[in-house]
Amino acid sequence: MKGFKLYIISGSVLLVIYLIAQFNKPIPTNWSPSYLVKDKIPFGTFVLYNGLQEMIPGALVKQTRKSIYSNLKSVKHTGTAYIIIAPSLSADSREWNLLFKFAGQGNKVFIAAPQLGKYISKKLNISYNYNFSLLEDSTIQEFNFTNPKLRALVNY
């Protein structure tokens, strides 16, 4: 009976140590692409959205889920920046032309999207590709330019 108590005590101590270690281990980083302003993960835009007021004092920041056409079709904008952050941008020629007109009026357009679509590639005569995976087991995360004048010998 005495030896049995020793096993129970040592097992209980090991179990408590294991549970303490499990509760104190760091939470793994969430690399899923959400692009939501409420997400504080690497692919969330919480810091950017909340920092825009500090970066551009006096700026009025609006968040919208409307299409480019719905936002820009009837209102004349001046001194405005249009920021698009998305996993892909599937705008048609009408929307791209509105963005070009918007930028031509002295406004700024910033687009962060890995896929822009075929129309804009043809219009601006650019080509791009990327070799990037968000899978946790992926070890290949290389970038390079497709333009021969900008292409490096070794991928970034």
pLDDT in tens, 9-49: 999 999 999 999 999 988 888 888 888 888 888 878 888 88
The average pLDDT across 86-100 equals 88
Using alpha carbons only, give the angle 53, 29, 44 rounded to the nearest 5 degrees. 30
Return the percentage of the chain with pLDDT > 70, whole number.
90
Q: Tokens in use for 13?
A: 């101590």
Please tell me the predicted confidence (pLDDT) of residue 119. Answer: 85
* Average pLDDT along the chain: 82
| Cα–Cα distance measured from residue 108 to residue 144, given in angstroms and rounded to the nearest whole number | 26
| Cα–Cα distance measured from residue 1 to residue 14, given in angstroms and rounded to the nearest whole number | 20
Residue 89 has pLDDT above 70, yes or no: yes
Distance (Å) of CA 28 to CA 47, 60, 137: 19, 35, 14
Please tell me the predicted confidence (pLDDT) of residue 16. Answer: 94
pTM for the model = 0.64
